[in-house]
Structure 1
Amino acid sequence: MKTILCYGDSNTWGYNPATGDRFNRDKRWPGVIRNDLGEGYHIIEEGLNGRTTVWDDPLHGGYKNGKNYLIPCLSTHKPLNLVILFLGTNDLKMRFSLSAFEISQGLRVLTDIILKSESGINGRPPQLLLIAPPPVKTIPPISRFSEEFSESEIKSQKLGEYYQQVAEEYGCEFFNAAHIVTSSSLDGIHLDEKEHIKLGHKLAEFVRNLNL
């Protein structure tokens, strides 16, 4: 049995931009991966709305900090064959005042933790796949996210380049979601159902080609 941990934010949790509810488990991209790969794979969904890479959120508390839960999460679910890390969108919020490069350095911290962990097979580190999130679109003024993510569109377009640099530095896998999916025009941030399904199919294909 190959065990894959999907560690991310609301776009891993399955936030529906039209309703704010959660997409069905078979429509979320981790669920699509599970269905595509079939028997022999165990997919663990660890998505949390508002999760950042390494930053405490002053409005929502430290539990949104992806670093704080990462080590307990790895230890809870080990042995892991693969960790899929899909974070960075929430780091774009105005209150963090981060550049795209600084966001990638938050991802670098998490990458270092995972690849120095003993959460893989026989106490080795698991394989790691870094996903660069799709860029934020222009957010409609009526969206509750419009002020929170103002000025994030241009910064978000730079994440793919910086994330790839981190992946090359550590010798881990990289996937730029911007080449496959786009954020919903409803709120400019989240994936709609068809994009979840599209991303899940492509990631399942990617995972099949890894030597897990």
Structure 2
Amino acid sequence: MTEKTILCFGDSNTWGADPAGGPRFDRSIRWPCILQQELGDAFHVVEEGLCGRTTVWDDPIEGHKNGLRQLVPILKSHEPLELVIVMLGTNDLKNRFAVSALDVANSAWALVRTARSCTDPATGKAPEILVVCPPPFAPLAPTAFKDMFVGGEEKSHRLAEAFAAVAEQRGFRLFQAGGVIQSSAIDGIHFDAAEHLKLGQALAAEVRNML
């Protein structure tokens, strides 16, 4: 039986950043790896997380973080793909980008549109797409991110509504991570180990319903 390949396209929360500032969480903790464990050998889950990755924005400070510019080469390098899971938007809320929650949701749609146009030359099919809306930030005031994300905490609480509105309008499948997990109180942005487990398990159930 040919295994089905799932690409997880995201930022530091897909990469597995430890909110306590330690090294990257190991494979037993990261949510894409939990997804792999839950789905079993019939699936191959590819981790494609990049710290600081945005949806569509060029980062004038960090550089090389624009997800839209990277998406097609990454899709092509892993085809044939059954499913692409996109979880981006957190870094869009950095003060330097000055965008709204609705801008972020529409930027996620730009990624969906691009992925849908990226068909497998052998089959002519595009992969299924699942957009994951990130959970709201935890309070940033006590954290090192408070200056980088000025205004971002408030916007993060409007992402779910904005993503839902755009998903309904544009017709793409959406998973609200905030209904399952919460951001860490340690840094306000990243996910604790227990949240990775919950997210991986919840997404596995979602994938089973889709495929």
Whether TM exceeds 0.5 here: the answer is: yes
SS at the partner of 1:64?
coil
- The offset of 1:106, in angstroms, is 1.2
Tell me what 2:77 maps to. 76
TM-score in terms of structure 1 length: 0.94
SS at the partner of 2:96?
helix
Contact 1:2 1:42 in 2 (8 A): yes
Looking at structure 1, the residues matched to 45 and 74 of structure 2 have their Cα atoms a distance apart, in angstroms, of 14
Looking at structure 1, the residues matched to 173 and 106 of structure 2 have their Cα atoms a distance apart, in angstroms, of 17
Alignment of 1:54-69 (within 5 A): 54-61=56-63, 63-69=64-70
SS at the partner of 1:139?
coil
Looking at structure 2, the residues matched to 158 and 204 of structure 1 have their Cα atoms a distance apart, in angstroms, of 26
Gaps in structure 1 of 5+ consecutive residues: none
Alignment of 1:130-169 (within 5 A): 130-141=131-142, 143-169=143-169
Identity across matched positions, percent: 47
Tell me what 1:172 maps to. 172
TM-score in terms of structure 2 length: 0.95
Give 1:48's match in structure 2, choosing from 47, 50, 55. Answer: 50
Looking at structure 2, the residues matched to 133 and 169 of structure 1 have their Cα atoms a distance apart, in angstroms, of 19
Tell me what 2:199 maps to. 199
- Corresponding letter in the other structure for 1:182: Q
How big is the alpha-carbon RMSD for the aligned residues of Structure 1 and Structure 2? 1.4
Contact 1:80 1:120 in 2 (8 A): no
Looking at structure 1, the residues matched to 122 and 84 of structure 2 have their Cα atoms a distance apart, in angstroms, of 12
SS at the partner of 1:83?
strand
Tell me what 2:23 maps to. 21
- The offset of 1:116, in angstroms, is 1.5
Tell me what 2:119 maps to. 118
Looking at structure 1, the residues matched to 169 and 27 of structure 2 have their Cα atoms a distance apart, in angstroms, of 34
Looking at structure 2, the residues matched to 201 and 149 of structure 1 have their Cα atoms a distance apart, in angstroms, of 29
Gaps in structure 2 of 5+ consecutive residues: none
Aligned residues: 209
Contact 1:127 1:172 in 2 (8 A): no
Higher mean C-alpha displacement, 193-202 vs 168-177 = 168-177
